[in-house]
Amino acid sequence: MRYLPLTPADRTAMLAAVGAGTIDDLFADVPADALLSGPVEGLAPHASEMAVERHMARLAGKNLSAGAAPFFLGAGAYKHHIPASVDHLIQRGEFLTAYTPYQPEIAQGTLQVLFEFQTQVARLFGTDVANASMYDGSTACWEAIAMAGRVTRRKKAVLSGGLHPHYVGTAETMAKFTGDVIEARSPVLSAQPDDAEVIAAIDDQTGAVVVQYPDILGRIPDLAAIAEAAHAKGALLVVVVTEPVALGLIEAPGHLGADIVVGEGQSLGVGLNFGGPYLGLFGASEKFLRQMPGRLCGETVDAEGKRGFVLTLSTREQHIRREKATSNICTNAGLCALAFSIHMSLLGGEGLSQLAAVNHDRARQTAERLAQIPGVTVLNDAFVNEFTVVLPADAREAVRSLADKGVLGGVALGRLYPQDKALHAGLLVTATECTTDDDIETLALTLADVLKKGA
């Protein structure tokens, strides 16, 4: 078998060396009735690389990939062009097959990358510090709520209706078990985000105010006003960024008063991957450092005085604090952080701003074109690369019909909010640098056709 180096002769000799007659002598602690006598039901014997690849390719071939169709989906997962060098570099075995850098003398590569990554995230978010990454945006969002609770010693979190419903769901699940109080609201199909409602809901029990920026409908909340209101009541402002490319164009949340900024880093370097693995970004003000979850990499010197890097402040973490840890998280999204960092290094701050400007250009062209379709209106006054259109029909039906014609036309709000009928005419449309003029025209013509037939 191609992955197992021991030969039958090795096994015989090694069994003799350890004083065992058969391999099952080494499984002697397993109760006899628990030891399987035969193969697992239904699972075939080992297979060649070619055979397995063929099987997996057949499954993959049943999916319509984003690159094979005009593609307009977003809602927390974005298709961007990933430079070829990113995937080449992350597949170097020294990165791909390394472990968590617990032995810093032979892990300076990973550690320096994490230090650079932390700096990039902090500068992107406008926060003092950032950690070495979390599982994804949704879990980072819950960790931020929990952290704000530890800092303020308050149990209530006020969530904007513009927060991604999966992020809301994740927080609600966790809060059921921790006793935190989550005050969430549904979005409303309006040009303006719900800043006023959020501000009105903040009271002196509120520990965290959570706002997505841009929000789930692509709108842009006024963070400075919400930060002021939160701070006036002693609460922390948690800002959630699901599309980091947007920060090439709009102001960094940390510069507008956010105390904690979390996000989904999938847009840069990672790819769609059907939802995972993704990359949780986590930045915060330095004064809350000791309450941060997750791994942190810090600068130090070695025995000869040379600059080097180590994992640090691990007394916050589960392997030392056990049940008193700031989080039970035991990993970061190392390889995804590397991909993000490489992509960001290729772009630079100015490149990111240019990329965001092109994304906005594509989205603006898409919005203006869709607005020409009879009965279709664009909801947003402001957006970066994602906006909401209101259709004269159920958007889920329209999305299905578009897909049947080979167009992946957006995310129907009904998919995200099945219970909320008032949103079912909403279609969330995203355009990125990958979106061509032809894609836009195809979407517009096909959507017009679908709506006409539906009417």
Partner 1 sequence: MNAPNASGWKPEMVADDGSVQPMTVSGDKGLQLEEPLIFELNRAGQTGVDIDAPKRGPVAGLLKFLRKAPAALPGLTEPEVVRHYTRLSRQNYAIDLGPFPLGSCTMKHNPRLNEKVARMPGFADIHPLQPKHTVAGAFEAIAELSDWLIGLTGMAAVALSPKAGAHGELCGLLCIRAAIEAKGEKRHIVLVPESAHGTNPATAAFAGFRVESIPATEDGRVDMEALISRLGPDVAGVMITNPNTCGLFERDLKKISDAVHASGGYVYCDGANFNAIVGKVRPGDLGVDAMHINLHKTFSTPHGGGGPGSGPVVLSEALAPFAPLPFVQREADGRVHLVEEEEIASTGHAQSFGRMAAFHGQMGMFTRALTYILSHGNDGLRQVSEDAVLNANYILRALEDVLEAPFAKAGPCMHEALFSDAGLAAGFSTLDIAKGLIDEGFHPMTVYFPLVVHGAMLIEPTETESRAGLDRFIASMRSLAERARAGDERLKTAPHFTPRRRLDETLAARKPVLVWKGDKA
Partner 2 sequence: MTRYFTKEHEWIQVDGDTATVGITDFAQESLGDITFVELPDAGRAVTAGEAVAVVESVKAASDVYAPVAGTIVEGNAALDAEPELVNTAAETDGWLFKLTLTDAAALGTLLDEAAYKAYIAEL
Q: Which of residues 252-291 bind partner 2 (CB under 8 A)?
A: 290
- Could you tell which of partner 2, partner 1, none binds residue 37, using a CB distance below 5 to 8 A set by kind? none
> Cα torsion for 434, 164, 443, 275, to the nearest 10°?
60
- Of the two residues 108 and 291, which places its CB atom closer to partner 2 in the complex? 291
> 57: Cβ–Cβ under 8 A, 6 or more apart, which residues?
none
Cα 405 to Cα 170, 401, 443: the distances in Å are 34, 7, 10
Please pick, from the candidates 85, 91, 315, 328, the single residue that binds partner 2 as defined by CB under 8 A: 315
Q: Give the nearest distance from C-beta 290 to partner 2 in angstroms.
A: 7
> Using N-to-C axis directions, what is the helix angle for 395-404 and 437-454, rounded to 10°?
120
- Residue 397 burial (10 A CB sphere; 0-12, 13-18, 19+): middle
**DSSP at 379:** -
| Stretch in the footprint of partner 2 (CB under 8 A) among 106-114, 139-147, 312-320, 412-420 | 312-320
> 193: Cβ–Cβ under 8 A, 6 or more apart, which residues?
160, 161, 162, 215, 217, 219, 220, 221
Total residues contacting partner 2 (rule CB under 8 A)?
7
Q: Give the nearest distance from C-beta 312 to partner 2 in angstroms.
A: 8
Please pick, from the candidates 26, 320, 371, 403, the single residue that binds partner 2 as defined by CB under 8 A: 320
- Of the two residues 203 and 386, which places its CB atom closer to partner 1 in the complex? 386
| Stretch in the footprint of partner 2 (CB under 8 A) among 138-146, 320-328, 375-383, 409-417 | 320-328
Q: Give the nearest distance from C-beta 83 to partner 2 in angstroms.
A: 38
- Could you tell which of partner 2, partner 1, none binds residue 215, using a CB distance below 5 to 8 A set by kind? none
Instruction: Say how far apart CA 245 and CA 356 lie, in whole Å.
Output: 6
Q: Give the nearest distance from C-beta 40 to partner 2 in angstroms.
A: 42
> 290: Cβ–Cβ under 8 A, 6 or more apart, which residues?
313, 316
- Of the two residues 291 and 345, which places its CB atom closer to partner 1 in the complex? 345
Q: Give the nearest distance from C-beta 291 to partner 2 in angstroms.
A: 11
Q: 27, 35 in Cβ contact below 8 A?
A: yes
Instruction: Say how far apart CA 209 and CA 452 lie, in whole Å.
Output: 43
- Of the two residues 154 and 360, which places its CB atom closer to partner 1 in the complex? 360
Q: Give the nearest distance from C-beta 204 to partner 1 in angstroms.
A: 25
> 260: Cβ–Cβ under 8 A, 6 or more apart, which residues?
127, 144, 147, 148, 236, 237, 238, 239, 282, 283, 284, 285, 288
Instruction: Say how far apart CA 235 and CA 230 lie, in whole Å.
Output: 5
Q: Does 314 bind partner 2 (CB under 8 A)?
A: yes
Q: Give the nearest distance from C-beta 205 to partner 1 in angstroms.
A: 20
Q: 137, 262 in Cβ contact below 8 A?
A: yes
- Could you tell which of partner 2, partner 1, none binds residue 17, using a CB distance below 5 to 8 A set by kind? partner 1
- Of the two residues 168 and 311, which places its CB atom closer to partner 2 in the complex? 311
Kindly list the residues in this chain that would bind partner 2 in the complex (CB under 8 A). 290, 313-315, 320-321, 324
